Structure 1
Amino acid sequence: MTRPEIEAKRLLDSLGWEKPGDLSLNQIGISLNAMIRDVEMKGSQGRILMKENYSVISVNSDISYNPKRNFVIAHEIGHLSLHKKIMPLFSDNKRTLNEWYSKGKHEEEANQFASELLMPTELFIRESNAKNKSFSFELIRELCDFFGASQTATLLKYCRIGNTPVSIVFSNKGVISWKVESKDFPLKFLKIGSKVQEGTSAYDFYQYGEIEQDPVEVAPMDWFPEDFQVEDFEDVDLMEQSIRIGEESLLTCLWF
């Protein structure tokens, strides 16, 4: 586990947390002398102001999707637990929250903390195995409902510790912004800044504005044309399914 994940687990253990519903995020905030409030904001999803003896976490009142609100709060609690001595104020917009792996060490650490706070690793593994299902977005949605987390956060958690190796690719306006894959996913070379290739479902979204609701079979070469191992998978179908993020971005999951 990473240091942020260890700190999140330590916090939950200190509060006697065992399962979702035991404590609200407001109660966790109170235990840290942090007040959580919903306020009108422009250009920001969440913000935390940290003083010596107390903190104020502000959440954009326009956020109506509760799993997203949960993640924003958990992310700011991560800043409080990890970065209080570094900087007294953190303000997070859609980019710092969506672009998990491209916005610097502190934001990545806060995201890791939030993921573990909302979906503790041991319980996540137990619940995903208890479903007795192979990887699918249906499984991801069931885990979302259990933990009260977003599909994005749940997919990324599964990517790290799930049974099926997957690759997660975030693209914006048809260009690859970042990607992360399970340790055992065989194809890893995908150039950041390259364009989404024709032949993929993601390409069709950027061309025609429509997103497939079910998994689509694509050629591995269409996603990983420069990976030196891709020829070994010429006769294997790669499964692709995406979540739309805002108007111009996709979070795409790939698996065999």
Structure 2
Amino acid sequence: MNKRPIDIVKERLDTVPVNVGAILRALDVDVRKDAELGEDISGEIRRDGERYIVSTSGDEHAFRQRFTLAHELGHFVLHKSLIGTGLDDSKMYRSTEAGDFYNTAIKLAHERQANSFAAKVLMPKPLLKQKIEEMSEGDSKPHISELCDLFQVSYSAMKWRLVNLGWAHKVEGIV
């Protein structure tokens, strides 16, 4: 019996940092980092026959590339039927005419779902909780920058995740 894509993703959320590239490859999706995608494009997912290819812009920080990979993974898992020939995402994670694959089937709600999915993949709740507890000593709380480095995500991604989990009070350095 074939596993559902979401089950393949969930099986691989047990290490810090989560290896998003390995998840994509386990789903038989090719990964191309450091692609030349155009000035305003962070990432894309496109079809090549029966296969899919996810690319990230080589002009962006490695942590942002990881988020972009996870965002495109979200589209693959959640919105595969809407991808068509492809979908590119701007730096604001919106399908845009600036890329090769302006996709009007992908709405703002889909982009938000892909962002939320990416945050959950890169910062799984059980692992984030475990690391916060391990890094806390007495009254001392971990600094958000330590968690960013550990999970290899940006400050804004980590802050969003902590706020949405109701855990902002468990760390220092959130402004």
> Do the structures match in fold with TM over 0.5?
yes
Aligned to 2:75: 79
- Sequence identity of aligned pairs in percent? 26
What is the one-letter code of the residue matched to 1:154? M
Max Rg structure? 1
Aligned to 2:100: none
CA distance in 2, matches of 1:141, 1:58: 27
Aligned to 2:30: 35
1:127 aligns with 2:110: no
Query: 1:1-256 residue pairs with structure 2 within 5 A?
Result: 10-15=7-12, 17-20=13-16, 24-37=19-32, 38-42=34-38, 43-50=40-47, 53-63=50-60, 65-88=61-84, 89-96=86-93, 104-132=108-136, 139-164=143-168, 253=175
1:52 Cα offset (Å): 6.6
CA distance in 1, matches of 2:66, 2:123: 11
SS of the residue corresponding to residue 86 of structure 1 reads helix
SS of the residue corresponding to residue 15 of structure 2 reads coil
CA distance in 2, matches of 1:11, 1:106: 21
What is the one-letter code of the residue matched to 2:25? I
SS of the residue corresponding to residue 114 of structure 1 reads helix
Change (3 A) 1:26 1:163: closer
CA distance in 1, matches of 2:143, 2:77: 31
Q: Would you tell me which structure has more helix in proportion to its own residues?
A: 2
Contact 1:125–1:162 under 8 Å retained in 2: no
Cα distance per residue 1:123-147 (max 9 Å; x no partner): 11222233227798x6211111111
Aligned to 1:221: none
Report which structure shows greater RCO (CA 8 Å, sep ≥6): 2
SS of the residue corresponding to residue 95 of structure 1 reads coil
* Structure 1 residue ranges, 4+ long, deviating more than 2 angstroms after superposition: 10-15, 23-26, 50-53, 129-136, 162-166
Count of residue correspondences: 154
CA distance in 2, matches of 1:123, 1:55: 29
Cα distance per residue 1:213-236 (max 9 Å; x no partner): xx7xxxxxxxxxxxxxxxxxxxxx
CA distance in 1, matches of 2:118, 2:83: 18
Q: CA RMSD in A?
A: 2.9
Contact 1:33–1:53 under 8 Å retained in 2: no
Q: TM-score, normalised by structure 1?
A: 0.53
Structure 1 unmatched runs, 5+: 1-6, 98-102, 167-214, 216-240, 242-252
Aligned to 1:199: none
1:78 Cα offset (Å): 0.7
Contact 1:29–1:36 under 8 Å retained in 2: yes
